[in-house]
Structure 1
């Protein structure tokens, strides 16, 4: 084999898209946390917070934020710990849960939503630079330009994502502090802030679902990066820090800004606050870190779907599709999309969690030691039950839809397994007798 071929092979396999991450490729808590927080320090999350900030009294907003962030944080932390223990991506975990054909649904729903997220952020970049530089009509140019640039860096995998995150995070923290400080300065005091009246309306169930929806898809795929952690405990801590604390801070900052300045348009808010120059620099780096992870996620999903060890072609095609969707104006559907993500994606993570704990008892056989069924019906039924619980909970404003979707999907796994066992239906994969487990 030539040196060139060897080099290409190493580049192709270094992120292990179709295998377990080996011990020698594991990394520190700092690196994993940096990538995950870089993922959650996401400007459109602030925009979602700004829209919520215009719809509720401030005292009510605090409880909504705590509820949504806690659900998202603990949910993702569990996904992270499973990813680290097994060394597998979320879509490979879905292969165990749903079967080789059933996992394609996970590829579509997780990869597809990440393409939509990439499109939303690419459009956001186009509007940001067009407004910030005073160049109306240049949105499409900036959408295409930044979409290509951000997609290119995603081709270099986990380590390049960590480097970009280290640069962007301190700047994003500074922006969050500045926005929050200026918002408090605008209203004058905490008493004034609590006394302000909302200007729009939104139900509490939708608001919590929107908070969970900001990273329902990305969080369900957090195993993609957490699998590089040294162990499950490290990954759990990293996931909790990123999605409970990091994402919560982003939503809070947007809430306070939106509440104080009475606008749900974050770009308009930045310009109003006189932060145009710094917004262009900081928000660019911020969105860049997230879109690195987003493109990586739909690349991994594509690799699993087509059983190819090279995720690069799927990143490229995903970026092309996302750019077209961005130019078409997907941002107009931002809140409805978040509500959709927060309803139908958490049950998928719930059924993966339930299958891992109740069916496999926290011991998965190695990929090479399993002959996968095309479809496992018990977990599929559990997923559909979880989706129904989340959907009807939202439709009739009963409970917290996203939380219900996760818990009911997870608990439905052993329940449906018991029914299948009573009916003597074998729904398990075939495992070698001398199989190794992780």
Structure 2
């Protein structure tokens, strides 16, 4: 199959305008991606540390920053038709970009393993299944969740059109019952925090939960028909979608001492709804996650066989699930929030500063094997994120972008001059 065959989603080239999508399609896919159980645990920590007004302020600020970051990359994806791993060839070099391929691919396969294991473990606890049966479910889910990603963008889109409205209905039902139980808005406003959390840590939690996903949302915003579609879809997915997940987690922690909406639905007596939410919630993110892995793998291996890489990634993720990935979520989230955001900072600095908002066609670009400015800036950004007492992901993005601008000015890194062509 050629890389540009129908359904293969242009893994090594720009998405042409005739294949672009509108706002409803792009936003729905991004909402399916951001509606994810793990995000709720960040909300759970906020719910017990702030009064309701302060909590809402933290959620709005944190997710607005996340949405703006995703929208910035989304705009570049629309303009270029490229995703983050392909943009990496410009800012890191032909061979240097393999670093970002490995980082982005590795982190996504870890997410896939955790989600696969979570679905099987939670279902196993509810149905009181044996350990062997739970392991079998991991294998089943590992193969099932990649089916829509194997199809491509169209598969993700169809699942999202089914899953997102269903999840919205279940979330609305759960929040209404929880609000009634706590005594309405007056009851929420009267709740006294039981722990403390400073604003910097709180914003880090909110921004960091899905900043890795925002960095790779270019896989779908590059299909946007216009800049407006790319920016609005990013804000809908990451400001509204991720914000809703954080809010639901906070609600659950306040009312039921449980941030996971699946567990909350069980406590509310909606057992079937809880199992439906579990599968829809995880599947609609899992297929996006393994799709992310596939496009990173295609760039790493310089192959257009996206479907083959998708299946290989699903098998690796399933194996990691069987080996116990379920127990490593917290350190994994910290790792994601540290090593991935600086990539986005370098990409944005490269596009807006060095290329003045317009890449040449990738096939015609004369790119070096390594871009020292980009690799050096990424290293500085990662160190800054690791050592920052402030919001670590934001520090990493800012440090990487600023360092790239400085190094490019000092070293005089040339652009990949090539004729510009319409997509």
Where on the TM-score scale, by shorter chain, does this alignment land: which range?
over 0.9
**Partner in structure 1 of residue 253 of structure 2:** 258
SS at the partner of 2:93?
Answer: helix
Cα distance in 2 for residues equivalent to 1:410 and 1:150: 36
* Structure-2 residue corresponding to 1:418: 409
Q: Which moved more, 1:178-187 or 1:25-34?
A: 178-187
Match of 1:134 among 128, 131, 139: 128
Contact 1:54 1:264 in 2 (8 A): no
Match of 1:35 among 18, 29, 38: 29
1:312 aligns with 2:298: no
Q: Tell me whether 282-291 or 222-231 shows the greater mean CA deviation.
A: 282-291
Tell me which of 350, 353, 368 is aligned to 2:345: 350
Separation in structure 2 between the aligned mates of residue 430 and residue 361 of structure 1, nearest angstrom: 12
Maintained 8 Å contact 2:90/2:416? no
Q: Which moved more, 1:359-368 or 1:319-328?
A: 319-328
Distance in 2, Cα, partners of 1:347 & 1:9: 29
Distance in 2, matches of 1:339 and 1:262, equals 23
- Stretch deviating more after TM superposition (213-222 or 353-362): 213-222
Residues 179 and 185 of structure 2 are in contact (CA less than 8 Å); yes or no, is this contact kept in structure 1?
yes
State the alpha-carbon separation in 1 of the partners of residues 246 and 213 from structure 2.
16
2:262 touches 2:278 (CA, 8 Å); kept in 1?
Answer: no
Q: Do structure 1's residue 160 and structure 2's residue 155 form an aligned pair?
A: yes
How far apart, CA to CA, are the structure 1 residues paired with 2:349 and 2:415? Answer: 16
1:369 aligns with 2:360: no
| Contact kept? 2:117, 2:321, Cα under 8 Å | yes
Partner of 1:431: 417
Q: Deviations over 1:67-121 (max 9, x none)?
A: 2201110000111111111011110001111111221111111111111111111
Q: Which moved more, 1:37-46 or 1:245-254?
A: 37-46
| Contact 1:57 1:194 (C-alpha < 8 Å) held by counterparts | yes
Contact persistence 1:41–1:247 (CA under 8 A): yes
Q: 1:430 to 1:343 in 2, by over 3 A?
A: closer
Q: Is the 8 A contact 2:77 2:218 kept in 1?
A: yes
Q: Indicate the residue corresponding to 1:26 in structure 2.
A: 20
Structure 2 distance, partners of 1:257, 1:385, is 38
Q: For each residue in 1:354-412, what CA deviation from the matched residue of structure 2 results, as whole angstroms up to 9, or x when unmatched?
A: 1100010001111121122111111222222222332222xxx33x2222222232222
Verify the 8 A CA contact 2:7 2:151 in the aligned structure 1.
Answer: no
Contact 1:32/1:228, CA 8 A, preserved across alignment: yes
Q: How far apart are residue 122 of structure 1 and its match?
A: 0.7
Unaligned runs of 5+ in 1: 422-426
Q: How far apart, CA to CA, are the structure 2 residues paired with 1:105 and 1:200?
A: 40
The offset of 1:60, in angstroms, is 3.3
Structure 2 vs 1, CA of residues 306 and 329 (structure 1 numbering), >3 Å: closer, same or farther? same
Q: SS of 1:27's equivalent?
A: coil
- Which TM-score applies when normalising by structure 1? 0.90
- The counterpart of 1:296, out of the listed 291, 295, 298, is 291
Q: Determine if the alignment matches structure 1 residue 392 to structure 2 residue 378.
A: no
Does residue 88 of the first structure (1) align with residue 82 of the second (2)? yes
1:103 matched to 2:94: no
Give the Cα separation in 2 of the matches to 1:183 and 1:284: 22
8 A contact 1:51–1:265 mirrored in 2: no
- Aligned-partner Cα distance in 2 for 1:130–1:29: 38
Q: For residues 282 and 102 of structure 1, what CA distance do their matches in structure 2 show? A: 41
Q: Which of residues 109, 116, 121 is equivalent to 2:110?
A: 116
Alignment partners' CA distance in 1, 2:230 and 2:266: 38
Distance in 1 (alpha carbons) for counterparts of 2:45 and 2:331: 12
1:336 to partner: Cα distance: 2.6
Cα distance change on mapping 1:336 and 1:67 into 2, 3 Å:
farther
- 1:4-29: CA deviation from partner (whole Å, max 9, x where unpaired): x7xx7764773000011111111211
Q: Which residue of 1 aligns with 2:399?
A: 408
CA-atom RMSD, angstroms? 2.2
1:276 aligns with 2:262: no
Q: Which residue of 1 aligns with 2:67?
A: 73
2:167 pairs with 156, 163, 172, which one? Answer: 172
Change in 2 beyond 3 A, CA 1:337/1:205: farther
Q: Runs of 5+ in structure 2 lacking a partner?
A: none
1:188 aligns with one of 176, 183, 189:
183
CA 1:265/1:290 → structure 2, altered by over 3 Å: closer, same or farther?
closer
Does residue 44 of structure 1 match 2:38? yes
Structure 1 residues 283 and 11: CA distance shift in structure 2, 3 A? farther
Aligned residues: 422
Q: CA shift at 1:140, angstroms?
A: 1.6
**TM-score normalised to structure 2 length:** 0.93
